[in-house]
Structure 1
Amino acid sequence: MALLETNFDSQVLGLSLGANLILPEHPEAWKEPPAVLYLLHGLSDDNTIWCRRTSIERYANRYNLAIVMPDAYKSFYCDMHHGSNYWEFFSEELPMLVKRWFKVSDDPKKTFVAGISMGGYGAFKLALNCPGQYAAAASLSGALDLASHINDEWDDCRRRTFQAVFGAMQNIPGSGNDLIHQLKNLDGIPDTKFYACCGTEDFLYQDSLTFRDLAAEKGLRLTYEESAADHKWDYWDASIQRVLEWLPIENLSQP
């Protein structure tokens, strides 16, 4: 695999930020532009974290797959109340730039999004709001029911983060940032496939259960898995391998 570290200017955000990319080197992969997975990080991480904490480059080598790992800072992939328009960046500008600069597929059937924790929230928000853009979306220990946490006790750092993104946690219920509200009011069932997994000891476990149960009620195409685990990288390192196996992409070489 080829690992690229890129820095570029975003017109939407008005700043320079980074993204790491993994591009396939397998000769079979380049008979046509490879499928692309946007792999999102969590609240305390950045664009380097997937390469630092997992063997994602080695796992991706089995597939005809490019992986884009962008920096989202602490934005929750939203247009921030006090800050920049990260939703506009991730839903519009970033895919446009990736397709302009790199020879990856522009076919929605070969475009996927996944993430951990805050990134799991971002992945499902993108898939629910841009159903024609992604064939599959995966949440690993995702913060899928933010409205249920409005009365949680947070440290000062996270409280300031939530205020910057949402104005106040009380603004989340019933808004466009409330995934459960969006799912309840879904107008038609998207063709997008969804995958959610979470550890049973995770503080976000109930979020995944709530989303799972409502998805079943609404008829969403959701694959759900759980196991005894906490909010830890050893769980996500194992989980991302299952996500890659689940994605509708060609396995070019056996592990």
Structure 2
Amino acid sequence: MAIDWTDRGVVLSARPHGEAAAVAVLLTREHGRHGGLVQGGRSSRQRANLEPGTLVAARWRGRLAEHLGTYTLEPVHGYAAVLLDDPLRLAALTAACALVEAAAPEHEPHPAVFDGLIALFEVLGGTAWPEAYVRWEMGLLAELGFGLDLDRCAVTGSNDYLAYVSPRTGRAVSAAAGEPYRDRLLPLPGFLAGRGGGGRDETLAGLRLTGHFLERHLLNGPLPPARGRLVERLERQPA
């Protein structure tokens, strides 16, 4: 018996398949990261629907769950389309889609990852979106099995001026306890430690922090190129 389901999904990527079709990878809310063939996906009408960051109503049909199957997609909202005139925000959206595609297990539902991705897209138009993006990466780590422990110092148990994170355990370390080992620890930005702040340099420090654990615990390898391009664009911004 064929399998047939409907769900909401975010397009993570699409690649050409044959002369007219495309293979789309979606993060669906109830069916996880899932690929499927889109007939006519290379047509001018369909290409816009397959841009990363597009929210769609998806129907997937296939003989077996492990088969590629086919998608029928109806666009709901094109988040990338409203960011086309802002390369930095668009780079953040693209990086988020690439990270989810690389890190999310295939066919394994993670509704919180789906909801978090949509929430990120919604705040990309705001002023504090870079800090929100770092928090989103922290949420992705937590939902997929490696949450950072930033509530108290791993050495003293206190929460007095947490300034570092252990690259091995992901636990916070206070400024006093970490000072002798600062060269071996990852800086903890103030906005992640409850001290306010933010801005370009703190955002970059936050991305170095989350990037370390994404590579080590979720990807078992390098970050997607789109994530690197986001950092490069941020580095070119005024401090």
Compare CA radii of gyration and give the structure with the larger one.
Answer: 2
> Which of structures 1 and 2 has the larger relative contact order (alpha carbons within 8 angstroms, sep 6+)?
1
TM-score (norm 1): 0.24
TM-score (norm 2): 0.25
